[in-house]
Amino acid sequence: MSYNLLKGKRGIIFGALDENSIAWKTAERCHEEGAQIVLTNAPIAMRMGQINNLAEKTGSQIIPADATSIEDLENLVEKAMEILGGKLDFVLHSIGMSVNVRKGRKYTDQKYDWTEKGWDVSALSFHKTMQVLYQKDAMNEWGSIVALTYMAAQRVFPDYNDMADNKAYLESIARSFGYFFGKDKKVRVNTISQSPTPTTAGQGVKGFDGFIAYAEKMSPLGNATAIDCANYTVSLFSDLTKRVTLQNLYNDGGFSNVGVSNDVMETFMKE
């Protein structure tokens, strides 16, 4: 179903790795809503090649960029404006990676150069992206920038490891940079805090299957899917949410405000 919500808008979408990626679904939905997009991902992710199918499907070009490299980001933003024929209306940051999680190091036994790498990729890259967009004056007025986050930034989820700290940092950057982007350029900046979702990054978290099932039972509306997230992001890129900014917005079926659900209680009740 298309509402033409993004007709005539142009944007960059980071982080589509395969068809499970939240960014993949978002690119498809933005295209359906009439937007022109440029896709980007880390050069190493390009080698998997799947992003080419998405580019074909959405009629978009791909510009590789490591989101931790200012040089790559500058090249990306300049080329994207050339390809799209003007300034940008939206940007999605859908990037996350923890080396400690990948290599099975516990939160209480971090290897700090891995911690720094994960922080650079997952959090600081959002500042770098916005700084490049800001300094190049690449966003149109009333444009919209969104990054994806998780509730481990507010509450403890032990196996989320150092990604919890990265997400807290990411959400803070959204507020701090969002202030300047709002004041100086009339651009809004928000984070969407998404339910656990079966993607490559999601499934990297230890015990993910139990965790997603638990969240499903806790949430009155059930877990938000990748498509739900894509739809919410489209609304934030559209002109219908012009003065929503500096927010961390939960797309989680209600999970974040539930203390306990009957479904979960049943597991603990004696006959």
Ligand X SMILES: NC(=O)c1ccc[n+]([C@@H]2O[C@H](COP(=O)([O-])OP(=O)(O)OC[C@H]3O[C@@H](n4cnc5c(N)ncnc54)[C@H](O)[C@@H]3O)[C@@H](O)[C@H]2O)c1
Q: Which stretch binds ligand X (CB under 6 A): 4-12, 84-92, 146-154, 172-180?
A: 146-154
Looking at 30, 121, 146, 249, which residue binds ligand X (CB under 6 A)? 121
Among 17, 54, 146, 224, binds ligand X (CB under 6 A): 17
Residue number with CB closer to ligand X (88 or 153): 153
Write the binding mask 209 to 248 for ligand X: x where contact by CB under 6 A, - elsewhere.
----------------------------------------
Length of the chain: 271
Is the distance from CB of 134 to CB of 77 less than 8 angstroms?
no
**With binding defined as CB under 6 A, does residue 118 bind ligand X?**
no
Helix axes 112-119 and 163-185, enclosed angle (nearest 10): 30
- Cβ distance to ligand X smaller for residue 15 or 253: 15
| Radius of gyration for the chain, computed over Cα atoms and rounded to the nearest angstrom | 18
Q: How many Å apart are CA 55 and CA 124, to the nearest integer?
A: 27
- Minimum CB separation from ligand X for residue 247, in Å? 16
Q: Which of 11, 143, 196, 253 binds ligand X (CB under 6 A)?
A: 196
| Residue of minimal Cβ distance to ligand X | 202
User: Would you say 102 or 106 has its CB closer to ligand X?
Assistant: 102
Q: Which of 201, 215, 230, 234 binds ligand X (CB under 6 A)?
A: 201
In the complex, minimum distance from the CB of residue 14 to ligand X, in angstroms, rounded to a whole number:
6
Enumerate residues 25-64 that contact ligand X by CB under 6 A.
Answer: 41-42, 45
Helix/strand/coil (H/E/C) assignment for every residue in 206-261:
CCHHHHHHHHHHHCCCCCCCHHHHHHHHHHHHCHHHCCCCCCEEEECCCHHHCCCC
Minimum Å gap between C-beta 44 and ligand X is 7
d(CA 36, CA 26): 12
Q: How many CA atoms does the CB half-sphere of 48 hold within 13 Å?
A: 13
Among 22, 27, 138, 234, binds ligand X (CB under 6 A): 22
CB proximity list for 224: less than 8 A, separation 6 or greater: 194, 195, 197, 232, 251, 252, 253
Q: Residue 101 Cβ, how far from ligand X at the closest point, in Å?
A: 11
Q: Which two tokens stand for residue 157?
A: 């989820």
- CB 115, min distance to ligand X, A: 15
> Applying CB under 6 A, which of residues 28, 54, 89, 96 lies at the interface with ligand X?
96
Dist. CA 247–CA 179, nearest whole Å: 11
Q: Single out the residue of 17, 12, 14, 75 nearest to residue 50, CA to CA.
A: 17
143: contact with ligand X by CB under 6 A: no
- Interface residues with ligand X (CB under 6 A)? 14-15, 17, 21-23, 41-42, 45, 66-68, 94-97, 121, 148-150, 194, 196-197, 199-202
